[in-house]
Chains A and B, each alone.
Chain A
Amino acid sequence: TPVKGPDGNFRLPPKIFDSMDRTKVGLKGPLATPIGKGHQSLNLALRKAFNLYANVRPCKSIEGYKTPYNDVDLVTIRENTEGEYSGIEHVIVDGVVQSIKKITEEASMRVAEYAFAYARDNNRDTVTAVHKANIMKMTDGLFLKCCRHVAEQNKDIKFKEMYLDTVCLNMVQDPTQFDVLVMPNLYGDILSDLCAGLIGGLGVTPSGNIGQDGAIFESVHGTAPDIAGEDKANPTALLLSAVMMLRYMGLSPYAQRIEMACFDVIREGRVLTGDLGGSSKCSEFTEEICRKVRESE
């Protein structure tokens, strides 16, 4: 939660910095941001503070949770620190506002290199750069140039570039044609949520923010104040994010067991929370997953 600093601005509590310095890995629940006014987004502040430059969201169709889209298996990698979310805005005159979108070569190269490294480490064969360089020639042009440069150095992985609107159009018609997508901040935000919608929503989508010195894994759904404390929430998103975290930390066998247990429970469909179509409580769902994990030993 935000704390008010000595200058009156809301900021992150200082304890976070000490803790992250020690552990280098974090697991985070949802944080609310006021709309149109109030303090800056703390989610953004976290990413800037720890230099978490890449947001990774794997979207895979979950067996047992039916959506109109089948066989979705893609990963969205989004530049996490700049772009449209630089937070730089000015009122020029009354009634005219400018927001600044900043793209730097350094950040674009970083995220492009991460995207190709991720593709290689996870046996993915295509990386697609998503951009709008026909409209924003210099900014997205720079991003695209960096992606092309990194692609040259990673010839074993196929590289494609596609306009944002074409990706959106094709995504809702045939999401199976996409593999790894890399893009600047805003497009990444929208597309990653779009892909989450294809597999069932934010309640089942994991997400990780990777930085040079550490990583924070988080669930990306809202804070849902209306069901807080009522044992109704769906823990799948946070659980799968934790699984991603274990893999990042090199604890893959544990990650595998927990992930299998979670998918098994959803596939069986006996014990499900409200948003997945069942009527069980959060604790019951969790207990069932724990049981499966114990059984698999």
Chain B
Amino acid sequence: MHTSRVAASSSIIQHKKYSTEPHFSKYGGRTTVTALSGDGVGPELLSYVQEIFRYAGVPVDFEELEINGSTTDEETLCSALLSVQRNGIALKGNIESKFDEPGFKSMNVELRTQLELFASIVWCKSIPGVYTRHQGLDIILIRENTEGEYSNLEYQIVPGCIENLKIITEAKSTKIAKYAFEFAKTHGRKKVTAIHKANIMKLGDGLFLESCRKVASQYPDIEFNDMIVDNASMQMVSKPQQFDVLVMPNLYGNILSNITAGLVGGYGVVSGMNIGDDYAVFEMGTRSSGRSLKGKNIANPTGMLLASCDMLDYIGCNKHAELIRDSVMKVMSVDKVQTPDLGGQATTLEVIQAIIEDIKPKTTSWSTTAAQNVSIDAFLFNFKVTIVNSTLESCMRRPIEMAKRWQTFKE
């Protein structure tokens, strides 16, 4: 099971060859990643990710930015955008939408459109040890991420009558279709299905479908078919095994991703990635902020951890990604330490502790050659930066831990 996620990593690396080479902020062998806190359980889950990265010795530093439903001014958005543009890569919690407030603009949508993250990929795979009604699922959902219904163009014609413009362009439809087919080809997937409602929206979704068909003709080895979105929803809950790769416009992607995520275990086990030509942002697949779970210590951290592993693959830290992913999967599927959303009794902290306990022996047994590849400067830099960034509690723990690692390094 984890091998296919490694295959996912190779597709992310392949992506670098497919489009312009993305850049990362890398100093002394360590990459800087923007961490956008978000609302709800976002901040706590991001802090757990950082904790686990420390234990796994991941050469990543986080540039933390607080951006949530209460900080919706232009300045915060600008600094978030600048940070992601500088670092090239981000890990994100979902930002709550206070849509009742006048002048509201969805920060999540703004980030995606401004950074031109044209593709959203959610990979839903059945997980052993997680009870679900349907088994044997392995569905990749690729969704156009910047136009369609999310164009944010609304106006009032007369009081009591409002219109919203859904924009579909040939350029973006072709781009996402091409991405989907390339993704399918890289992973040896056999079928791509386009989801649409072209019987009703003949011009709009008709254009999307036509663009997909044109791209499909360039990939004769991959089967292509199309399905109307309501039929697709119905088929997804009755016979989901028939789906392989799905490509769709923005809103249908939102709906189907959430349906499929629910089928494999819910918000807690699915990771998502937003890929653009120059930047990538990783988040939970269902983009939920988990408002109701905040502070209760029952949120499932798996989704965010898997997203962070995808991010590590993207920047080339495959060993670390595999290490953490294996531990996460083992704790969830084999040890069955599961949070209530999966039917278990564990708290978030218990899951994190279990993962850390699983990671510890693996990192202390790492060979000295690996340690030698890290320069002394980088090591001390890491030490200084993590001291600055960590909480008092971690500081107490760190000297002992750092001493152990320095010992391993010296040997």
Q: Could you tell me which A residues sit within 8 Å of B by CB distance?
A: 33-37, 41, 44, 67-69, 84-85, 87, 89-91, 94-106, 132-139, 141-142, 164-166, 168-173, 186, 189-194, 196-198, 200-202
A169 touches B286 (CB 8 A): yes
- Residue contact A173 to B266, C-beta cutoff 8 Å: yes
Query: Which chain B residues lie closer than 8 Å to A135 at the CB level?
Result: 97, 106, 109, 149-150, 152
When C-beta atoms are compared, the residue in chain B nearest to A202 turns out to be: B234
Beta-carbon nearest neighbor of A200 in chain B: B238
Least Cβ distance of B254 to chain A in Å?
A: 5
B residues within 8 A CB of A191? Answer: 233
CB neighbours (8 Å) of B261 from chain A are: 169
Residues of B within 8 A of A189 (CB): 197, 230
> Could you tell me the distance between the alpha carbons of A137 and B107 in the complex, rounded to whole angstroms?
13
> Given known contacts A99-B204, A186-B251, A197-B238, what 9 new A-B pairs fall within 8 Å (CB)?
A35-B199, A87-B200, A98-B165, A99-B201, A135-B109, A139-B163, A169-B259, A186-B197, A194-B233
Q: Is the CB of A84 within 8 A of B234?
A: no
Q: Is the CB of B166 within 8 A of A99?
A: yes
CB distance from A259 to the nearest CB of B (A): 23
Interface 9-mer from B11-19, B167-175, B349-357: B167-175
Point out the residues of chain A lying under 8 angstroms from B160, CB to CB: 104-106, 142
Partner of B201, one of A89, A133, A138, A193: A89
Considering the complex, give the chain A residue whose CB is closest to the CB of B240.
A172
B149 touches A173 (CB 8 A): no
Contact of A84 (CB < 8 Å), options: B99, B201, B206, B258: B201
Judge whether B154 is part of the interface by a CB distance below 8 angstroms.
yes
- For residue B312, CB closer than 8 A to chain A, the reply is no
Contacts of B202 in A (CB 8 A): 35-37, 89
Asked whether B288 is an interface residue with its Cβ less than 8 Å from the other chain, the reply is yes
**Min CB distance, B38 to chain A, in Å?**
13
Q: Which residues of B contact A85 (CB under 8 A)?
A: 200
The 9 A-B residue pairs with the shortest CB-CB distance, nearest first, are: A134-B97, A197-B234, A95-B170, A172-B262, A105-B160, A68-B133, A193-B230, A99-B204, A138-B154
Asked if B164 and A136 make an inter-chain contact with CB atoms under 8 angstroms apart, the answer reads yes
Partner of B198 from A36, A171, A194, A200 at Cβ < 8 Å = A36
Is the C-beta of B209 less than 8 angstroms from some C-beta in chain A?
yes
Give the nearest-CB partner of A103 in chain B.
B162
- B residues 217-266 touching A (CB-CB < 8 Å): 228-231, 233-238, 251-252, 254-255, 257-259, 261-263, 266
29 sampled A-B residue pairs with Cβ under 8 A: A34-B199, A36-B199, A67-B238, A68-B133, A69-B133, A89-B201, A89-B203, A95-B171, A96-B170, A97-B167, A101-B164, A102-B161, A104-B162, A105-B159, A132-B251, A134-B97, A136-B164, A137-B154, A165-B286, A166-B258, A168-B233, A168-B255, A168-B262, A169-B261, A171-B259, A172-B263, A191-B233, A194-B237, A196-B234
Chain B residues contacting A137 (CB-CB under 8 Å) are 99, 104, 106, 154
Contacts of B204 in A (CB 8 A): 89, 97-99
Question: Judging by beta carbons under 8 Å apart, are A164 and B99 in contact?
Answer: no
